Amino acid sequence: MPTEAIRTHGLTKVYGTFTAVDHVDLSVPTGSVFGLLGPNGAGKTTIIKMLTGLSDITEGDASVAGFDVRRDPMHVKRNVGWVAAEVILDDDLSAWENLWLQAKLQRLTDWKGRADALLGYFELTDRRKDKVSKYSTGMRKKLEIALALLHQPQVIFMDEPTIGLDPNTRRMLWELIEGAHKEFGISILLTSHYIEEADRLCDTVAIIDHGKFVACGTPDELKSKVRADLIEVETGESVDAAKLQAIPGVVEARSQGKTWILRVGSAEEALPKVLAALRSDGIRRINVEKPSLETVFLETTGHRLGASTEGNVDYRKFYAQMRRARQ
Ligand SMILES: Nc1ncnc2c1ncn2[C@@H]1O[C@H](COP(=O)(O)OP(=O)(O)OP(=O)(O)O)[C@@H](O)[C@H]1O
Ligand SMILES: [Mg+2]
C-alpha cells in the first residue's frame, strides 16, 4: 500500500477563462481523514471530480491509491468509493437490490459476503428487503456508505456527507464515519461547510477559497496560528473604525455588514473597555470567539465561511435540504 493515499502537484482546473481549482498541492497519508473546508464555489467538488477521473485535469499531476489519475484511470476507479452530496439510491429497490446493482456496476463477482457484513455493520440486516423509499434519512445515509464500501476501496471521497441533515442524524453519521474509518482502514477525503465537522473528523484540514489552498494543517495547528480572540459587536448607532481602533487592546477592526469584528489580544481584558467605549452607541449584540477553525477561516480569507461572498441564496443546497426533509 502506498504511503500517500492521495497526492497532487499543481492540480488545476480551468473552465473557459475561469480557474475553478488553482495549483493545489495535496498530500493525504494512507489511513488518514483529510478535510476540504470552503464556501460555495470554492472548488471542492471539482477537486473530487478530477481525483476520481470524472473531470479532466487541466494542468498538474495527481495520484490516488498509488495510481496516476491520468495514466491509469481504471485502477483509480477500482480503488475509490464516492459518497456524493446528491442522493444516489434507487428508491424502488430494497437495500439488498441496491447492493446487487452496485455490484453489477462494479462488475463484482464475490460480493454477497461483503454485502452481508456491511448490512450487519450498519445495522440494516433486518430491513434489507424493505424498499429504500421506506427508509429514514439516517438509514439511507448508512446504505449510501455501504454501497461506497462494497468493492473494498482504499480511498473514499465524501462530498458534504452531512448536508441537509438534522443535527442528531449528523452526529450519528460522524460516529459512523469514524467507525468505518477505523473498521475498514480506509483513507477518507471529505468536503464540508461545517467547521465542527472538520474539527471533529479530520486529521488534516485544508481551507480552500476561490480554488486555492489558503491554509492547511491539523485543526490544532490551524487554530494555534490565530493568536487573537475576536469580539463581534453590533450597535444601534453607526460607529467608525477610528473609534474602535482607539480602544486599548483592539489590534484591528473590520466591518462585516452591520457588525464590527474586533481582533483583540485577550477578550477577557478587552471586553470591559469595548463595553465602556460603546456605551452610548447602543450595543445590540456582542459575541466573543476564541480561536476555532471559523476564526482561522476569517483570518485567512477576510470573510466568514457561512457568509456567501456574493450574498446569494444557495438554491442547490436549499433544494437538497428540501428533498431530504420530504424523505
Ligand atoms: N462544468 C462546469 N462549467 C463551468 N464552471 C463550473 C463547472 N463546474 C463547476 N464550475 C464552477 O467552478 C467553481 C467551483 O465549483 P465546485 O462545484 O467545485 O465548488 P464547491 O466548492 O464544491 O462548492 P459547493 O460548496 O457549493 O458544493 C464554481 O464557481 C462553479 O460555478
Ligand atoms: Mg461541492
Same domain, 151 and 28: yes
Quick check: CB of 38 below 6 Å from ligand 1?
A: yes
Residue 142 domain flag: yes
pLDDT for 9: 97
- Per-residue pLDDT band at 114 (split at 50, 70, 90): very high
The answer, yes or no, to whether residue 244 has pLDDT greater than 70, is yes
Task: Give the pLDDT score at 301.
Answer: 82
> What's the pLDDT at 296?
86
Do the domain assignments include residue 318?
A: no
Q: Per-residue confidence at 228, pLDDT binned at 50, 70, 90?
A: confident
327 domain-assigned: no
Question: Both 193 and 268 in a single domain?
Answer: no
Beta-carbon neighbour count of residue 76 at 10 Å? Answer: 22
Are the CB atoms for 193 and 187 separated by under 8 Å? no
Closest approach atom of ligand 1 to CA 49: 18
Q: What is the pLDDT of residue 265?
A: 86
- 58 Cβ closer than 6 Å to some ligand 1 atom: no
Work out the percent of the chain whose per-residue pLDDT is above 90.
60
CA distances from residue 282 to 238, 246, 268, 276 in whole angstroms, order as listed: 9, 18, 21, 11
CA of 262 to the centre of ligand 1 (A): 32
Q: Is 44 in the pocket of ligand 1 (CB under 6 A)?
A: yes
pLDDT band for 309, please (50, 70, 90 cuts).
very low
Higher pLDDT, 308 or 92: 92
Q: Which ligand is nearest to the CA of 209?
A: 1
Domain presence at residue 309 = no
Span 274-297, mean pLDDT?
88
The CATH number of whichever domain residue 97 belongs to comes to 3.40.50.300
Angle between helices 167-184 and 137-149 (to 10 degrees): 20
Compute the distance from residue 47 Cα to the ligand 1 centre, in Å. 10
The response to whether residue 20 sits with its C-beta less than 6 Å from ligand 1 reads yes
Q: How far apart are CA 231 and CA 187, in angstroms?
A: 38
- Domain end position, chosen among 164, 189, 218: 218
> Are both 81 and 102 inside the same structural domain?
yes
pLDDT recorded at residue 308: 44
Residue 59 pLDDT class (50, 70, 90 cuts): very high
| Amino acid 320: pLDDT | 56
| pLDDT score, position 240 | 87
How far, in Å, is the centroid of ligand 1 from the Cα of 300?
21
In angstroms, what is the span from residue 57 Cα to ligand 1's centroid?
A: 14
Tens-digit pLDDT profile for residues 139-187? 998 999 999 999 999 999 999 988 878 888 888 889 989 988 888 889 9
CATH code, domain carrying 266 = 3.30.70.260
Surrounding residues of ion ligand 2, Cβ less than 5 A = 44-45
Same domain for 173 and 36, yes or no, is yes
Arithmetic mean of pLDDT, 75-80: 94
| 196 shares its domain with 79 | yes
Residue 311 confidence (pLDDT) above 50: no
Residues 243 and 107 in one domain: no
* Residue 180 sits in the same domain as residue 52: yes
The stretch 215-225 carries a mean pLDDT of: 89
Atom number of ligand 1 nearest to Cα 47: 18
User: What is the reported pLDDT for 101?
Assistant: 94
pLDDT of residue 323: 57
pLDDT for position 79: 94
Residue nearest to ligand 1 atom 3, measured at CA: 15
At which of 187, 218, 249 does a domain end?
Answer: 218
Q: Measured in angstroms, how far is the CA atom of residue 41 from the centroid of ligand 1? A: 5
Confirm whether 319 is domain-assigned.
no
Q: Using most ligand atoms within 8 A of CB, pick from 12, 13, 15 the residue to mutate for ligand 1.
A: 15
| Domain residue limits at 101 | 4-218
Residue 110 grid cell: 464475490
Work out how many domains the chain is built from and give that number: 2
pLDDT of residue 313: 46
Q: Do 109 and 144 reside in the same domain of the chain?
A: yes
Ligand nearest to the CA of 46: 1
Return the ligand number nearest the Cα of 20.
1
Percent of the chain exceeding pLDDT 70 equals: 92
Residues near 159 by beta carbon (within 8 Å), at least 6 away in sequence: 44, 45, 48, 82, 83, 84, 85, 190, 191
CA of 239 to the centre of ligand 2 (A): 38
Residue 69 lies in a domain: yes
What distance in angstroms lies between residue 32's CA and the mean position of ligand 1's atoms? 26
Closest residue to atom 27 of ligand 1, CA basis: 40
Based on the domain organization, do 39 and 77 belong to the same domain?
yes
- Given a cut of 90, whether residue 99 has pLDDT beyond it is yes
CB-ligand 1 contact for 154 (6 Å cutoff): no
Inform me whether the pLDDT recorded for 127 exceeds 90. yes
**Is 285 within a domain?**
yes
pLDDT at 315 over 80: no
If asked whether residues 168 and 48 sit together in one domain, one would say: yes
Please name the residue whose Cα sits nearest to atom 19 of ligand 1: 41
Report the pLDDT averaged over residues 106-116: 93
Same domain, yes or no: 208 and 142: yes
Report the pLDDT value the prediction gives residue 324, as an integer from 0 to 100: 52
Domain final position from 199, 218, 237 = 218
Indicate the average pLDDT of the chain.
Answer: 88
In this structure, is residue 129 part of a structural domain? yes
Mark whether 212 and 243 lie in a shared domain: no
